[in-house]
């Protein structure tokens, strides 16, 4: 701030309070809805203050699932989401850290070609090539499996680029010293590159976990067996009931639970998250 | 968003770059790059190739035989009023969503930039929707605008507006625009804030000494210096609204009523997965891939050069 202008400061606070309210409103409404019972909504009105039915709602959806929705208990769907998100996260980090290492620290024939093949994946979001990708996964017999849920989403150029960018900033002297001391590439990788990449890996972890947890279209296409439903796609199933209104308290309770883990990750790892998102841009 | 927003776009010719000192091995680099390459080939390149091939084929009504029809799928698409309407829908949706979320994010970032003690608290409160799945964002707003129990529907009703996004295309569009921008504000906010904080304080002070008030300073000093960030975000937001909002739309309006919120990527899904018109869906995929490539190219070329004044 260059000079003291009380009115502008007041205006800024006002804007931000309104902004925070705008951002929080949908979630507050969802939370309130999840604390009332089914009958409240039949009258066609929506309360603005929490009711007394909160524990009942969450207990029901966590242990029995949303009644008559054809979806399993939330504990099961959330476990599936967690497994999928963790496979995607660790898989992406693992395969991209080693491929970036190969691209930066070796010169080999077809290096540029390999690089461009990976690069192209950037351009093709899953939504664009749904049908053929679905067919490949079906042909491989991966429908209704954790492998099918996660492996097709593991390949992405994003993480490879991040690591490559970071590796290029590691001083040349380190490699030279390591080579003089007789360290081979894998030893150098284990004792130098990996420890130096720790912060980057952690930052990437936050972003990839959110990405993995929030997948929607892909799980929806390849799971027909409810044992493999993930929570984000499950919400669509439970709100899509034919011939009747959705059971708002249960649907909104599920939505609350579905956003809880990634939101907690962002809030508690905010510093890493911001670093992962913004600082890489430099 | 992740795809496009996360990393620095490398300049052309960039894969050439390695360390001066490298390791030597005939097999190790291939082994290291193999997993990434295998997954890329199986789940990306092969299906994309399939889409291109499929876009030249046409299946008969019973799915019994396919024949090569050349560019006919494309010609049919470009002459189909529904497809052109979907193009228009996409443009409207993209402009509104990007405009709204960029505008609000910039406003919030400028406000937070003034704060000293409360900056990090406000940042946390604005940041967290980044973690909310686009599909959940769709469900939340769909609930608030529900014609029978929605809070906002009720509020609008008391003001005399009869909201019904199941019947009115405009209402449905407003619904998806709000849900999509709500989710995107946090991302844009973060980048704007980082951009603002990297502007040297001395520039603003110099402008202030020369007698420029806060508004004038913003438009003549701050905003021009933010242009690289703004441009970067613009491209990322176009990318986001064109592709990542699929789930928001599917979870709220499902493209309806009629075709009023069927954006291009949603149409690929609808024609392919629900309508089983594989040739047309594949041709649409190829057109979209073309659009993504152009966007990536723009991102590359201009972001590297950095729009600067």
B190-203 pLDDT tens trace: 889 988 888 888 88
Average per-residue pLDDT for chain B: 81
Task: State what percent of residues in chain A have pLDDT above 70.
Answer: 94
Task: State what percent of residues in chain B have pLDDT above 90.
Answer: 11
Q: What distance in Å separates residue A84's CA from the closest CA in chain B?
A: 15
pLDDT of B62 > 70? The answer is no
Q: Which residues of A touch B122 (CB under 8 A)?
A: 16, 20
Q: Which residues of A touch B3 (CB under 8 A)?
A: 122, 125, 156, 158
Q: What pLDDT does A266 receive?
A: 86
- For the ranges A114-128, A232-246, B97-111, the maximum mean pLDDT occurs at B97-111
Q: What pLDDT does B109 receive?
A: 92
The reply to whether residue A236 touches residue B250, judged by beta carbons under 8 angstroms, is yes
The reply to whether residue B47 touches residue A135, judged by beta carbons under 8 angstroms, is yes
Q: Which residues of A touch B209 (CB under 8 A)?
A: none
Confidence of residue B282 (pLDDT cuts 50, 70, 90): confident
Residues A253 and A234 sit within 8 Å (Cβ to Cβ): no
Q: Which of B111, B123, B268 sits opposite A12 (nearest CB)?
A: B111
Confidence of residue B11 (pLDDT cuts 50, 70, 90): very low
Average per-residue pLDDT for chain A: 83
Give the 3-state DSSP-derived string for chain B, with helices as H, strands as E and coil as C: CHHHHCCCCCCCCHHHCCCCCCECCCCHHHHHHHHHHHHHHHHHHHHHHHHHHHCCEEECCCCCCEEECCCHHHHHHHCCHHHHHHHHHHHHHHHHHHHHHHHHHHHHHHHHHHCCCCHHHHHHHHHHHHHCCHHHHHHHHHHHCCCCCCHHHHHHHHCCCCCCCCCCHHHHHHHHHHHHHHHHHHHHHHHHHHHHHCCCHHHHHHHHHCCCCHHHHHHHHHHHHCHHHHHHHHHHHHHHHHHHCHHHHHHHCCCCCCCCCCCHHHHHHHHHHHCCCHHHHHHHHHHHHHHHHHHHHHHHHHHHHCCCC
In this prediction, residues A260-268 reach a mean pLDDT of: 89
Q: What pLDDT does B4 receive?
A: 37
- Which helix (H) or strand (E) segment holds residue A33: the answer is helix A6-34
For domain A6-281, give the CATH number.
1.10.3720.10
Q: What pLDDT does A282 receive?
A: 41
pLDDT of A104 > 70? The answer is yes
Q: Which of B23, B128, B288 sits opposite A105 (nearest CB)?
A: B23
Confidence of residue B102 (pLDDT cuts 50, 70, 90): very high
Chain A residue with Cα closest to B250: A236
Residues 6+ apart with CB under 8 A from B61: none
Residues of chain A numbered 20-49 and touching chain B (CB < 8 Å) = 20, 22-27, 29-30, 33, 41, 44-46, 48
Q: Which residues of B touch A41 (CB under 8 A)?
A: 149
The reply to whether residue A235 touches residue B182, judged by beta carbons under 8 angstroms, is no
pLDDT of A112 > 90? The answer is no
Q: What backbone torsions phi and psi does residue A172 show, to the nearest 5 degrees?
A: -55, -35
In this prediction, residues A213-220 reach a mean pLDDT of: 88
In this prediction, residues B27-55 reach a mean pLDDT of: 86
Per residue in B291-309, pLDDT tens?
Answer: 888 887 777 666 555 444 4
Q: Which of A45, A185, A245 sits opposite B23 (nearest CB)?
A: A185
pLDDT of B49 > 80? The answer is yes
Task: State what percent of residues in chain B have pLDDT above 70.
Answer: 88
Q: Which of A19, A105, A165 sits opposite B19 (nearest CB)?
A: A105
The reply to whether residue A135 touches residue B205, judged by beta carbons under 8 angstroms, is no
Confidence of residue B9 (pLDDT cuts 50, 70, 90): very low
Give the bridge partners for B102, in sequence order.
Answer: none
Q: Which of B40, B217, B246 sits opposite A121 (nearest CB)?
A: B40
ipTM score for this prediction: 0.86
In this prediction, residues A195-199 reach a mean pLDDT of: 87
Where do the domains of chain A lie? Answer: 6-281
Per residue in B77-97, pLDDT tens?
Answer: 888 888 888 889 999 999 999
Mean pLDDT is lowest, of A68-72, B49-53, B83-87, for: A68-72
Interface A-B: count of C-beta contacts within 8 A = 347
Q: Does domain B2-19+81-305 have CATH number 3.40.50.11260?
A: no
Confidence of residue A90 (pLDDT cuts 50, 70, 90): very high
């Amino acid at each position: 701030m260059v000079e003291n202008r009380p009115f502008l400061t007041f205006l800024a606070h006002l804007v931000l309070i309104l902004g925070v309210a705008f951002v929080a409103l949908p979630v507050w409404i969802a939370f309130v809805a999840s604390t009332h019972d089914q009958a409240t909504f039949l009258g066609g009105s929506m309360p603005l203050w929490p009711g007394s039915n909160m524990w009942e709602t969450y207990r029901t959806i966590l242990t029995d699932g949303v009644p008559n929705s054809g979806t399993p208990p939330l504990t099961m769907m959330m476990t599936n989401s967690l497994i999928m998100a963790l496979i995607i996260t660790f898989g992406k980090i693992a395969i991209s850290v080693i491929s970036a290492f190969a691209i930066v620290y070796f010169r080999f024939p077809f290096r540029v070609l390999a690089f461009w093949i990976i690069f192209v994946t950037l351009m093709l979001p899953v939504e664009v090539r749904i049908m053929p990708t679905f067919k490949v996964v079906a042909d491989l017999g991966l429908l209704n499996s954790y492998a099918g849920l996660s492996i097709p989403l593991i390949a992405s150029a994003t993480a490879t680029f991040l690591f490559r960018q970071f590796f290029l900033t590691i001083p040349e002297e380190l490699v030279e010293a390591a080579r003089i001391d007789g360290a081979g590439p894998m030893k150098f990788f284990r004792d130098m590159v990996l420890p130096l990449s720790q912060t980057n890996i952690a930052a990437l972890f936050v972003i990839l976990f959110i990405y993995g947890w929030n997948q929607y279209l892909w799980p929806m296409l390849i799971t027909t067996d409810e044992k493999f439903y993930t929570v984000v796609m499950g919400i669509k199933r439970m709100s899509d009931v034919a011939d009747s209104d959705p059971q708002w308290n249960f649907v909104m309770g599920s939505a609350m639970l579905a956003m809880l883990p990634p939101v907690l990750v962002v809030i508690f790892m905010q510093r890493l998250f911001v670093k992962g998102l913004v600082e890489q841009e430099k | 968003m992740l795809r496009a927003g996360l990393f620095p776009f490398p300049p052309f010719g960039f894969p050439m770059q390695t360390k001066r000192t490298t390791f030597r091995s005939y097999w190790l680099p291939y082994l290291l790059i193999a997993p990434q390459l295998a997954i890329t080939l199986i789940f990306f390149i092969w299906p994309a190739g399939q889409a291109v091939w499929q876009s030249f084929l046409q299946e008969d009504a019973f799915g019994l035989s396919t024949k090569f029809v050349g560019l006919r799928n494309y010609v049919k698409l470009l002459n189909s009023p529904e497809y052109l309407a979907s193009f228009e829908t996409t443009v409207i949706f993209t402009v509104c969503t990007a405009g709204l979320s960029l505008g609000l994010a910039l406003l919030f970032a400028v406000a937070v930039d003034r704060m000293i003690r409360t900056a990090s608290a406000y940042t946390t409160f604005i940041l967290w929707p980044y973690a909310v799945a686009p599909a959940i964002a769709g469900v939340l707003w769909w609930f608030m605008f529900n014609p029978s129990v929605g809070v906002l529907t009720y509020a609008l009703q008391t003001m005399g507006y009869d909201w019904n996004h199941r019947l009115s295309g405009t209402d449905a569009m407003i619904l998806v625009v709000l849900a999509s921008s709500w989710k995107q504000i946090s991302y844009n906010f973060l980048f704007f804030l980082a951009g603002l904080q990297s502007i040297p304080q001395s520039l603003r002070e110099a402008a202030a000494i020369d007698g420029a008030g806060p508004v004038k300073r913003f438009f003549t000093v701050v905003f021009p210096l933010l242009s690289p960030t703004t441009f970067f975000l613009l491209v990322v937001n176009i990318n986001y609204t064109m592709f990542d909002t699929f789930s928001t739309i599917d979870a709220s309006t499902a493209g309806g009523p009629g075709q009023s919120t069927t954006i291009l990527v949603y149409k690929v899904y609808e024609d392919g997965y629900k309508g089983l018109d594989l040739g047309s869906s594949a041709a649409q995929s190829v057109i979209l891939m073309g659009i993504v490539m152009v966007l990536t190219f723009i991102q590359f070329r201009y972001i590297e050069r950095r729009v600067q004044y």
